[in-house]
Amino acid sequence: MKGAVTVKTHPERCRLVGTSAAAKRAADIVLSATALVLLAPFLLLIALAIRLDSPGAVLFRQQRVGRFGRHFQILKFRTMLAGTPDLPTDQMLRLPSSITPVGRFLRATSLDELPQLINILRGEMSLVGPRPALYNQLELTACRDDLGVLLFPPGITGWAQINGRDELPDKTKVELDAWYCDHWSPSLDCKIILWTVLAVANRRGAF
């Protein structure tokens, strides 16, 4: 299939099936839709700040690998100058001059991730799950496939994010993502959301 990778099934490891999958999806729809409505004025203020800060589009679109290896366009508030090349977040440290003043604040507070609530409504992402890899991170995607991580929808936040975020090496991230997939439960998702708020407040691991 174009725009996707061949994914191993790992039926013995996938806990997200049947009513569990339906319940997680229903929670994603309700929570993301509610958040978009409540945050609408705040999102408009962020969009205005981005437009006043530097020329270019408000939203940044990037090809990512989603559930079952399907590619989709992730949405973020633009935090870098228009025309900056696509690189993994940790490699952006090599291009500090490309981050705009408003973008630096959005990254530090993770507010740049808020447009992904739209990705959730589209069914491309979940509130909690492994962060989606870039389309060109082939080795990372292969490692995730080997451990069954691609059987889960990618998330705005996840087990790896509350245990180090972008400061972790890829191998550790994949291991943490695999642990989440093996131990997934609604209560674990709730804990990750709460711990994410604390991680963002402390600005731990953010670039």
Tens of pLDDT, residue by residue, the chain (207 residues): 445 555 565 555 567 778 989 999 999 999 999 999 999 999 999 999 999 999 999 999 999 999 999 999 999 999 998 877 766 665 655 555 789 999 999 998 999 999 999 999 999 999 999 999 999 999 999 999 999 899 999 999 999 988 876 678 888 999 999 999 999 999 999 999 999 988 777 766 554
pTM: 0.85
Structure tokens at 12: 């013995």
The CA-atom distances, in angstroms, between 127 and each of 19, 52, 71, 114, 158 are: 18, 30, 18, 11, 8
Residue 126 contacts by C-beta under 8 Å, 6 or more apart in sequence? Answer: 24, 25, 28, 120, 152, 153, 154, 155, 156
| Residue ranges per structural domain of the chain | 18-201
57: β partners: none
